[in-house]
Each structure stands twice: as structure tokens, then as C-alpha cells.
Amino acid sequence: CGVFGAFSKNGQSVLEDVYLGLYALQHRGQESSGMAWIAKNSAGCELRVTKGMGLVHLALDQKELSSSHSNCAIGHTRYSTAGGSFLSNAQPITANYSRGSVAIAHNGNITNATGIRRYLENRGAIFQSTSDTETILHLMAHQSHKPPLDALISALKTLKGAYSLAVIINNRLVAARDPWGFRPLVLGRRGETTYIASESCALDIVGATLVRDIKPGEVVVIDEDGEKSLLIPKETERKFTCAFEYVYFARPDSFLDGKSVYDVRKKLGQKLAQSAPCPEADMVTGMPDSGTISAMGYAEESGLRYEKAIVRNRYVGRTFIEPTQRVRELGVRIKLNPIGEIMKDKKIVIVDDSIVRGTTVQRVIAMVRESGAKEVHIRIASPPVKFPCYYGIDTPTSEELAAARMNIEELCKEIGADSLSYISVSEMLDAIGLPHHNVCTACFSGDYLNGGKDDELDL
């Protein structure tokens, strides 16, 4: 998912900025979009919310937004990891409780949400949705003896797993990032307006500059008085930034935890060329768009010619976000088309960022062979994806993961390639450039934090 928030100290409306920010974060979720904001009127402050299914421009009513005014707003683009693809699970989720108004937009996946929910339901809580995010609101309401900001922080202390949050509490904007730092979250500024965003590319669109990343375990409170940085009082043995953000999920024009996503992808391709060269090939091409930058790195390092030999229909969304296998399969066919003329009688290296179910690469190889290519060599700019993610990326179960079902040789045969190579986990970590111990590689290595999915509840 993508989250965005803005607070203007001089009272200017930020609703259009949030709308634009969400536009730039569309790649992080296409199932539903929503915004919440504080509207001030003669009766005081009121929390408003609008959400709908689908893309930002379809889900949100621009007219309503441009005729409204607010200096404090958040927004969300959703793709489901926990809870189904329904409007009831669209975010931001909102509540008015004894201590005021709260709205939450969440990116990530809370791994002990089921346990917390059971605990709260046994004490009378009635949940409105199946989303893990709602547990945060209920945990807050459970601590109504505390001021809402303290209640939020103690709720966050209870959680395990991944959360990067944009929150409105009464007339304040709050950003929070889990103590492991799984998902990205950055702080930006333009004049008197402060922004929080999943990725820095969303700051560019509103003309804001990137101030810094929100630190793992940090809560930043933004209001009329400025910014205040607080800590979630939870000891963690290690940070755990998601490697897959760099490999695939984030936009290449973003900087995450100080690292350029573009640079990392280029380096992944260069390393791939070093460890899995293909000297007999005539050219390198990238699987658009996700493999393009690594393919350029591969070409640069190997000295092979780079051709943009596969064209992507830019009006088709990210295939994996479509929830069913049938739509996914059709998706590849309408999305990617090789230029036969370039490929005829050639030995081709195709670089992609990852193989998940294997659908994309298998279909593309078949199309490329139909175009008359002599050999097709597949190079993958990440290690084999063998394990599901419990921290907010929708990797399927092990049974559906191609690299979990078979070894590389079998997979090469299954997809119909002449050769297939991946980079290793340590090569990937070198390309990312953060301390290795501080990066999550669980979907590649099986090295989960605290053992993974059903973390037991310790309230």
C-alpha cells in the first residue's frame, strides 16, 4: 500500500497535494483509494472521509476535494495483504471515540493482529472490517484513560510486524514506522507544509523536498507548533528493511533509507552480469518495466548491446495486483509484446526483477520464440522467491511460488528457457548497500523475524 499525509501550518488547504501524492503512489496499490481530513466549520472540527474502489482518479471525487478545505489530511492506496478486496477494508479507517477523532492509513501487515483481535473481541469490541489495521483503533479506544497520542504509542508497542502509518489524531498529523522499519516512510517539506509519504517520489510531485526517512520505531507528531519526534518504547534486536522494495515494489525515482532505488537496480544488473554472464548472446533486453533498469546494468557490465525489444502496454496495471490467476494470465498477454524483427535469429538475454509464479516469464519466452529468437537466456536480478511474505507484500503461498516448487534446472525447463540464473542473497545485499543484518530477505532466505507468521500475543 501507499500512504501520504500533509499538514499546513499557515492554514492552506492540502487536499489537492494529498490527491497528487496518492497519484504518485498508485503503483503501491490499485484496489482502493481513500482520503481523510479535518474540516473546520462554525461548529468546530470534523473528520471527513472519502474512499472508493480502484485507482485514485476513479475512487476519489476530485470535485468534492476541490470544494473542500483542510490543512490536515491523509490518504491511502491499497492492495490487499490482510483482509479481502472490499470497500469495507478500504482506508483510511476512521473513528470518533471518547478522546476525539482518529484516521489511520496503514502500509504493512500486522503479524499478531489475529491474536489482538481475539483478545479485544472477548472484551466486547465489535470490528467493522477484516483488516488488521482496525486493531490499532480498538487498542487506542481500550486505553481511553490516556491522551490519544499516548494511547496510540502504547497500541503500537503491542504490535508485531510491519506498519508505516499516516494518522490524524484530532487536528494533528502523525507518522509512525514500526521498530523494524520494514516498509519505507519519509518526511518532506515545502514552505510551511510538512509531508509524510511512503516514498520520496510522492514528495517530488507536490514540489516538496525530502527532509529524511522516518526512523524505525519513530513517531513524528506534526501540528501548529511544529514537529516532535517520539519513540515507540520497544526493544528490537534488529532492523529489517524490506529488500523487495528495492528489487521491485518501490518506484525507481524514490530514495528509501538513503538509497536510490534506481542505483540499487542498476547494481543488481551489474552483479548479475558478473556472476551469470552470457557471452554468446547478441543482445540484452529487460522485462518492462520492472526489469528494465537491471537489464541496463547487465548490458553495461557485460558490454552486450541493450535493446528495448519488449514493449509494454502502459495502460495495463501491475499484473500481480490482479487478484485471480485467470486475470493474471490474460494480463501478461495484453501487457507485454516483443518486437519480432529485433529478435529474429538472435540469442537474447532477458532480465527481469523476479520470478514469482513464473507466469510472466513463461509467456514471454513463448512469445519471443514465436518471433524467431534462436536462444532465450533468463537472468533474474534477485534470488529465487521461495517463501511467503508476512510483512506487507502479497507473495503467494509456497505451493504457488515457482522457485519453491522446483529447483533452478527444473524451473528453467518449465518456463522453456535455454538458461536461467539468479543472483545470490549476499550479492543482492551488497547491491542494496545497507548493513546486511538490517535488511529483511525472508521471502528469499526463509530468515523470518521472530519465526514469522503467527506471532504469539504478549499484551
Give the 3-state secondary structure percentages of the chain, helix then strand then coil, rounded to 5.
35, 25, 40
198 touching ligand SF4, by CB under 6 A: no
174 touching ligand SF4, by CB under 6 A: no
Q: Would you say 411 or 425 has its CB closer to ligand SF4?
A: 425
Going by the DSSP 8-state scheme, the letter that residue 416 receives in this structure is T
At which residue does the C-alpha cell 465489535 appear? Answer: 126
- Closest to 187 measured CA to CA, from 217, 211, 209: 211
Q: Which residue in the set 182, 320, 387, 422 belongs to the binding site for ligand 5GP (CB under 6 A)?
A: 320
- Element holding 382 (H helix, E strand): none
- Write out the three cell numbers for 369: 520464440
Residue 318, amino acid: R
389 marked ligand binding residue: yes
Residues touching ligand SF4, count (CB under 6 A): 11
Flag whether 178 is marked binding. Answer: no
Give 23 or 391: the residue with its C-beta nearer to ligand SF4: 391
Which residues ranging from 196 to 235 are in contact with ligand 5GP (CB under 6 A)? none
DSSP 107-131: ES-BTTHHHHHHHHHTTT---SSS-
DSSP-assigned letters across all residues of 273-340: HHHS--TT-SEEEE-TTTTHHHHHHHHHHHTPEE---EEE-TTS--GGGSSSHHHHHHHHHHHEEE-H
- State which of residues 107, 290, 294, 362 lies at the interface with Mg ion (CB under 5 A): 290
Query: Whose Cβ is closer to ligand 5GP: residue 31's or residue 352's?
Result: 352
What are the cell numbers at 112? 499478531
Among 112, 354, 371, 441, binds ligand 5GP (CB under 6 A): 354
Identify the DSSP state of 253. T
Asked whether the beta carbons of 111 and 453 are under 8 A apart, the reply is yes
440 annotated binding-site participant: yes
Residues contacting residue 341 through CB under 8 Å, at least 6 positions apart: none
Q: Which of 15, 220, 250, 389 binds ligand SF4 (CB under 6 A)?
A: 389
Which of ligand SF4, Mg ion, ligand 5GP, none does residue 232 bind to, with CB < 5 to 8 Å depending on kind? none
The residues near 385 (Cβ < 8 Å, ≥ 6 apart) are: 354, 355, 356, 395, 401, 403, 404, 443, 444
CB 171 within 8 A of CB 72: yes
Residue 399 main-chain phi, psi, to 5 deg: -60, -30
Q: Rounded to the nearest whole angstrom, what is the least distance from the CB of residue 378 to ligand 5GP in the complex?
A: 11
Q: Does 155 bind ligand 5GP (CB under 6 A)?
A: no
Give the three-state DSSP class for 10.
Answer: coil
CB of residue 72 vs ligand 5GP: minimum separation in angstroms?
A: 33
**Span from 130-138, 198-206, 253-261, 393-401 in contact with ligand 5GP (CB under 6 A):** 393-401
Question: Interface with ligand 5GP includes 387 (CB under 6 A)?
Answer: no
Interface positions, 203-232, toward ligand SF4 (CB under 6 A): none
- The residue from 132, 245, 353, 427 that contacts ligand 5GP (CB under 6 A) is 353
Minimum distance from CB of 396 to ligand 5GP (Å)? 6
Return the residues of window 426-445 that contact ligand SF4 according to CB under 6 A.
Answer: 440-443
Query: Is residue 33 at the binding interface for ligand 5GP, with CB under 6 A as the rule?
Result: no
Instruction: Give the dihedral sign, CA 276/281/287/292.
Output: positive
Structure-block grid coordinates of residue 368 = 519471443
Stretch that binds ligand SF4, among 56-64, 137-145, 238-246, 322-330 (CB under 6 A): 238-246
User: With binding defined as CB under 6 A, does residue 47 bind ligand 5GP?
Assistant: no
User: How many Cα atoms occupy the beta-carbon half-sphere of 342 within 13 Å?
Assistant: 17
176 lies in the site for ligand 5GP, by CB under 6 A: no
The yes-or-no answer on residue 412 being catalytic is no
Q: Is 132 annotated as a binding residue?
A: no
**CB closer to ligand 5GP out of 142 and 357:** 357
Compute the half-sphere exposure of residue 98: CA atoms within 13 Å on the CB side of its CA: 10
Q: How far is the CB of 268 from Mg ion (least distance, A)?
A: 14
DSSP state of 358: S
Query: Binding partner of residue 242 among ligand SF4, ligand 5GP, Mg ion, none, CB under 5 to 8 Å per kind?
Result: ligand SF4
Whether residue 353 is annotated as binding a ligand: the answer is: yes
By CB under 5 A, is residue 200 in contact with Mg ion? no
Query: Binding site residues for [4Fe-4S] cluster, as ranges?
Result: 242, 389, 440, 443
**Contact residues for ligand SF4, defined by CB under 6 A:** 182, 242-244, 389, 391, 393, 440-443
**Contact residues for ligand 5GP, defined by CB under 6 A:** 248, 287, 290, 319-320, 352-361, 393-395
**Contact residues for Mg ion, defined by CB under 5 A:** 290
* Residues noted as catalytic: 1
Query: Binding site residues for Mg(2+), as ranges?
Result: 290, 352-353
